Structure 1
């Protein structure tokens, strides 16, 4: 027994006519009659007295009408609750992000405060995840877009910079060309899933060779690299948005800027071919609006 057959029954009871009920419901009178017959067979009682001139409820029909109205009201209430639920940004949202806490943590904290009914499940990892197979709602990634199964929202562009503390450069001098890095302490990042050291994408000009970089210290988190650079341990190669505040307040300074100006992009990706839920729509719009990157 379903809400459709009960709805047809209630419509016939209200109109006292298979024809009028059919017109109201957009089905034929014979279709109405077949539905009522199936319902009567299911219940094992006769619901209507039928004649060529009128359709009236039996005693059993009167009893079932009361219950039928309650059943329909329950369905309508459930539909209303579900509709309201789907209209509200709520529920679990699984997101994969690069292995960088800031500025993402601050932005995501603001998002969580703005949408307290959304449960964020965050995975900070530099590996390339399969968004669909691994069940992510969205991922934030840099580089070229290669998966046609995903939609994308451009979050902006960034580039990498060489940074160190003013005190470090006061003690060890400021490099003026890539070749000077051979005599400096370099803070390196070990890629978690390959074990290799991140390469420093430095573009040497004519006559300026890029040396093999000394290894002063190796870290596997951005926060550690920034922390050691702030303490004057050496020079780190970082995405500009991760050290923007430190550069702005002068606790870190950049060097060799003209050699590290290759831009990269950051995108928010999510599976295509699906309806965007309110929670995902809220996340896409919020991250786009509060992106720390240059949109140009």
Structure 2
């Protein structure tokens, strides 16, 4: 039913008539004359090319076509009410409970999330950290932050920015074992590797020579399902690890860790935030998205 926007008023009249089963009672609710109600219904029936009511001297009753239109009208006006509420809320200051899912690597973003809490004290964070694929809509998340592409048509997405990886180790480790000059040199080093908990597979180290991937077959001294223990062991001089640059900025700045093999590192990861496409980007979600994009995800 191709009903123009200027017919919304007539649809409203139609709904009021169905509620009261009377043109006169509907006119009283709307503050217009019964004649105006009758004309509005007549114009709507002419536009749709069908009768909407069976009329008698005492009451009106819906036709089958009228019943179909009533169902659609209820959906239309429910969406309008929801949109009006969301638009009104969008003008408010960010506040309330914000349920967000991060990948496990997101636990390393806690300093940034702590800064977000200081900036927006009226937002209550409810944080979930997991590498499993969560259902944003069914599980009731306001937003989900993930790496990689998003293909779910039910979701809206925005890039937060890119991040790079670094192969790092402690100066004391390289003093004892030597500094690798090429990816092949890692064969004689203690590699601290990240294992995806969802698949059990090891994360590839993005090492390339002349566009050819050369990061296969690395030895394994330790595997862990999260990055924190790998970073800690690297700081203690137990080996070398490959982690996102943002996760070791503080250690690199202090000299606790140093980078190696930078000319051979190629890939760049991407963080994205997604939220249900049937919802506006609420103030609290927009605040988080803008904060992460401006404060964290700027590739070095």
- Give TM-score, length-normalised by structure 2: 0.67
Match of residue 137, structure 1, among 125, 142, 163: 142
Instruction: Give the direction of change, closer, same or farther, for the CA distance of 1:163–1:154 in structure 2 (3 Å limit).
Output: same
**2:257 alignment partner in structure 1:** 252
Instruction: Give the direction of change, closer, same or farther, for the CA distance of 1:271–1:178 in structure 2 (3 Å limit).
Output: same
Matched, 1:28 2:42: no
**1:216 alignment partner in structure 2:** 221
Unmatched segments (≥5 aa) in structure 2? 1-26, 38-84
Instruction: Give the direction of change, closer, same or farther, for the CA distance of 1:276–1:231 in structure 2 (3 Å limit).
Output: same
Contact 1:177 1:208 in 2 (8 A): no
Q: 1:36-57: CA deviations, max 9, x gaps?
A: xxxxxxxxxxxxxxxxxxxxxx
**2:169 alignment partner in structure 1:** 164
Cα offset for 1:183? 0.4
Alpha-carbon distance in 2 for matches of 1:138, 1:211? 35
**1:38 alignment partner in structure 2:** none
Look up the SS of the partner of 2:118 in the other structure.
Answer: helix
Aligned residue pairs, count:
228
Task: Point out the more displaced range, 241-250 or 170-179.
Answer: 241-250
Contact 1:93 1:280 in 2 (8 A): yes
- Give TM-score, length-normalised by structure 1: 0.68
- When Rg is computed on C-alpha atoms for both structures, the one with the higher figure is 1
- Pairwise CA RMSD: 3.3
Match of residue 185, structure 1, among 166, 183, 190: 190
Cα offset for 1:102? 5.6
Alpha-carbon distance in 2 for matches of 1:294, 1:243? 13
Contact 1:181 1:211 in 2 (8 A): no
Instruction: Give the direction of change, closer, same or farther, for the CA distance of 1:206–1:190 in structure 2 (3 Å limit).
Output: closer
Instruction: Give the direction of change, closer, same or farther, for the CA distance of 1:280–1:182 in structure 2 (3 Å limit).
Output: same
Contact 1:246 1:252 in 2 (8 A): yes
